[in-house]
Amino acid sequence: MKVCFLLDEHISPAVPAGLKRHQPRVDVLSVGDSGAPPLGTPDSNILCFLESTQRALITKNRRSMWQHVMEHWQSGGHLWGIFWVPRDISYGLLIRQLLLIWETSEAEEWRDQLRDLPF
């Protein structure tokens, strides 16, 4: 199964647009999109959405998300990968990194993995 992404609300709309321009088959949603959690959704609810939809999270929100990830795991939950991105990452580099993940791996490889981007 290919990796599916959920971008947090702090990731520019230019990123999913760029992903789709380079690879139209990439399954990517952003918080606030139709079919995704609405803007302002608590982190714990985002994690439940990720687990139920088997999506990897792309986020700049390391500070508050970290505690929620630990609580999610302690309650027996699982995740399909969380990728932390620095606040100053360029759109082009982030798009290339996500395409690399999508093109070279399967979703199962990222289960319960926390990784920093760029690699």
Domain range for 61 is 4-116
Q: SS3 sequence, 52-82?
A: HHCCEEEECCHHHHHHHHHHHHHCCCCCCCE
Claim: this prediction has a pTM higher than 0.75: yes
Token pair for 18: 């760029």
CATH number at residue 60: 3.40.50
Per-residue pLDDT of the chain (119 residues; tens, 9 = 90+): 999 999 999 999 999 999 999 999 999 999 999 999 999 999 999 999 999 999 999 999 988 899 999 999 999 999 999 999 999 999 999 999 999 999 999 999 999 999 999 99
SS3 content of the chain, % helix, strand, coil (to 5): 45, 15, 40
Our count of domains for the chain comes to 1
